[in-house]
Copies of this chain bind each other. A is one copy, B any other.
Amino acid sequence: MSNTCTGRGVCAPAGVLAHGVACGIKANGKHDLGLLHFPHGASVAGVFTQNLVKAAPVLLTSEKVKRGHCKAVVVNSGNANACTGQKGMDDAKTMCRIAAHALGCSEEEVLVCSTGVIGEPLPMEAVERGIYEAAKGLSTEGDEAFAQAILTTDTGIKTCTVDCGDFCIGGAAKGAGMIHPNMATMLAFITTDVKASAEELQSLLREAVDLSFNRITVDGDTSTNDTVLLMATGASGAVLEEKRKPFRKGLIDVCQHLAKAIVRDGEGATKLVKVKVEGTDTEEDAKKICSTIATSLLFKTALFGEDPNWGRIAGALGRAGVPIDPNGFSVFIGDVPVVERGVGVEGDWETPAHKVMTQSEFEITVRIGNGPASYWMWTCDLSHGYVSINADYRS
């Protein structure tokens, strides 16, 4: 059986309807309310922020996902519904109730996500109007409107479709600032028409997130609202048990595509850089060093300046909290060796290293020693644009 993907995102798999509208949460009149609908239901898995300060919709949806089944997801942007106390929780529940009423399903079958400014109450009249309007417009071509409705400082929509032959995986994500491992201010909605149990989905989603959204950093800040949801309608007739290998690969592909799109759209970012740390004793050590380099402001501003100033890498790896031999590490910018055994290489390393850094995507590799472990992350540069966006975020 073959199943042709349609649409460019969450509506690509069969059995998924979507729409997005502007209901007035955002002062600028942009789309701010999105709705996903699975008329015949879907198995669902979710991964949520590890920040201790969790927004009301995260608290609510992470509980609901445990049931393993849903019929709809309602999402608003422009307001995170975080640090809003009991009213925030009441509002999140009200959003589910309104969507359930509009779609003719039960409140328990509706999940809710919010993203935007923290600490302000949701304008519930606008939200209610938006949910009904979005419900009316639901279609199998609503991918783009939905993808629009979940954005905040993003410069464009982030969608992805992978055609696996018998079945299909689609996704939409949002995220640009407050991005850091353990997911930061991001939302991702991944849909598939493979038939799968919630338990099967959960373990595969966890792995795919660890290889994608948990490896991206824009500014080291994490958020109160991060959520990745994976919903499987089963409408293709293909069964996950028999398609485990292509599904696993497809899911990782979708997550990595969306994760890279988030870093590439990092607030003010002009470059996507993969930082690889090799040769440590444990993956945990490699991760600590990798994260320290990838989040160093001095490193990230040097990326923006296309300046192969490897001293900043040396400085970062020395403060990562991992015992290293300061006379044993090597650094490569692309394929260009710039440090060998803790000392800068001789000759003109700077011209070729600078040339690598003029590219919009490249890798930097740090070899710590001869250990068996390694880790990598995607980061971006720190530019004037980041400062401009974040100095006046709320105005």
Binding site for B on A (CB under 8 A): 50-54, 80, 82-85, 117-120, 177-178, 180, 182, 219-224, 295-298, 301-302, 304-305, 307, 309-312, 314-319, 323-324, 326-327, 339, 341-344, 382-384, 386-388, 390-395
Contacts and interface: CB of A to CB of B under 8 A. Distances in A.
Tell me which of A84, A182, A309 has the highest count of chain B C-beta atoms within 10 A of its own C-beta: A309
Nearest to A342: B83
Nearest to A117: B311
A118 B393 contact: no
Contacts of A318: 51-54, 222, 224
B119 A307 contact: no
Nearest to A52: B318
Contacts of A83: 311, 314, 339, 342-344
Contacts of A323: 52
A240 B314 CA distance: 40
> A223, A388, A390: which has the most chain B beta carbons within 10 Å?
A390
A296 B297 CA distance: 11
Stoichiometry, as copies per complex, reads 2
Given A310-B119, A319-B51, A384 B392 contact: no
Contact of A80 (B219, B311, B395): B311
A278 to B, nearest CB: 18
B384 A314 contact: no
A344 B119 contact: yes
Contact of A315 (B178, B327, B387, B394): B178
A51 B318 CA distance: 5
Contacts of A310: 118-119
Contact of A221 (B52, B298, B324, B341): B298
A284 B160 CA distance: 44
A203 B50 CA distance: 41
B343 A392 contact: no
A220 B138 CA distance: 47
A344 B312 CA distance: 39
Contacts of A82: 311, 314
A292 to B, nearest CB: 9
Given A177-B298, A318-B53, A324-B52, A382 B393 contact: no
A302 B391 contact: yes
